[in-house]
Structure 1
């Protein structure tokens, strides 16, 4: 693998076939407090990692991964195939992002978030993971120790989160649901529903949404999400 002189790699790093790695990328960066780092960054085949991206050590990333400029991905995340992380977005540690997820620019995804297959996260979406910040129990009761004090949202398969939405800790965004732009989601959303507002409320079923431009009939607007 041939890299430009201004790309920084902290070993151990394993990258698959035919990577495109642009200028000023940092790969395998250890956390500030890490001592004798033994974690490894693994990235699959055909990645496109754009300028200014920082990917920490301990991540496992699938094939056809892409980032926008200046994306930040902290340690110990599990990221599937065909995932895109937009420019300026931040993925904190210990998240699971499954296949075919698209995260647009300037998003914040906190620790212990789960985003399932085919989900679509619009620009400037903010997800949160602590009920009462800055809570001193944050580290002692993280979900990896069997507690639920600190947990990011769970975005189910085929869900769509519109631009600028805010999702509170531990909220479940239902399968094939749509969160309207600018919504503040304080309760779990049912599947196959449009929710919007502050606080977000169910507006209608997905099959009741019309296309104002007439490209889709009523009931077909989000049929493409399941293809």
Structure 2
């Protein structure tokens, strides 16, 4: 894992797993059971970033922000591979799909799915399935689907334990 000494060092003590080639710098708070995967960039150099409990930031994802607009990921959030979250607030139990982009000032409501490759420029209400460029809501998620999003984040926590050398249950079998 790479850090830059100009900024305050983030506290990694509660995180389950931070990949050795992840870059995490500046004002970054990482809660228990969170994981930051290979090649991810979490740049709290301009504005703070908060990563909630049992949240996973997958391979190649980028988290950053502009002054006055923090990036906040609540608990049980999944940020898919190569997704970009820039000065946005992602509520609990949400999945951001592979390569999706969430832009400045957007708030994604809890228990939502942002489809792969989507570009989100406006707030999204809870329980939304969102796709496209620009992103649009295609339907509401059910309570069962919302529970599955929490379970998905928990599976990633188990996988993170394996990568950290602290477990053997891959979680996805």
TM-score (norm 2): 0.76
Q: Are the counterparts in 1 of residues 83 and 98 from structure 2 also a CA contact under 8 Å?
A: yes
Q: Distance in 2 between matches of 1:225 and 1:165?
A: 17
Q: Are the counterparts in 2 of residues 126 and 165 from structure 1 also a CA contact under 8 Å?
A: yes
Higher alpha-carbon Rg? 1
- Residue 14 of structure 2 is matched in structure 1 by 63
Q: Please list, as runs of the form range in 1=range in 2, the aligned pairs for 1:76-115 lying within 5 A after superposition.
A: 76-93=27-44, 94-111=48-65, 112-115=70-73
2:144 is matched with which residue: 203, 220, 226? 220
Q: Distance in 2 between matches of 1:124 and 1:26?
A: 18
Structure with the bigger percentage of strand:
2
Cα deviation for residue 78 of structure 1 reads 1.1
Structure with the bigger percentage of helix:
2
Change beyond 3 A, Cα 1:69–1:26 = closer
- Residue 170 of structure 2 is matched in structure 1 by none
Q: Alignment partner of 2:144: what SS?
A: coil
Q: Alignment partner of 1:224: what SS?
A: helix
- Residue 93 of structure 2 is matched in structure 1 by 158
- Residue 198 of structure 1 is matched in structure 2 by 133
Q: Alignment partner of 2:149: what SS?
A: helix
Structure 2 unaligned spans of 5+: 152-173
Q: What number of residue pairs does the alignment pair up?
A: 144
The Cα RMSD (Å) is 1.8
- Residue 177 of structure 1 is matched in structure 2 by 112
Cα deviation for residue 64 of structure 1 reads 4.3
- Residue 157 of structure 2 is matched in structure 1 by none
Q: Are the counterparts in 1 of residues 98 and 115 from structure 2 also a CA contact under 8 Å?
A: yes
Q: Distance in 1 between matches of 2:15 and 2:119?
A: 32
Structure 1 unaligned spans of 5+: 1-24, 40-56, 129-151, 208-218
Q: Distance in 2 between matches of 1:74 and 1:127?
A: 16
Q: Which has the higher contact order (CA 8 A, sep 6+)?
A: 2
1:118 is matched with which residue: 73, 76, 83? 76
Change beyond 3 A, Cα 1:201–1:79 = same
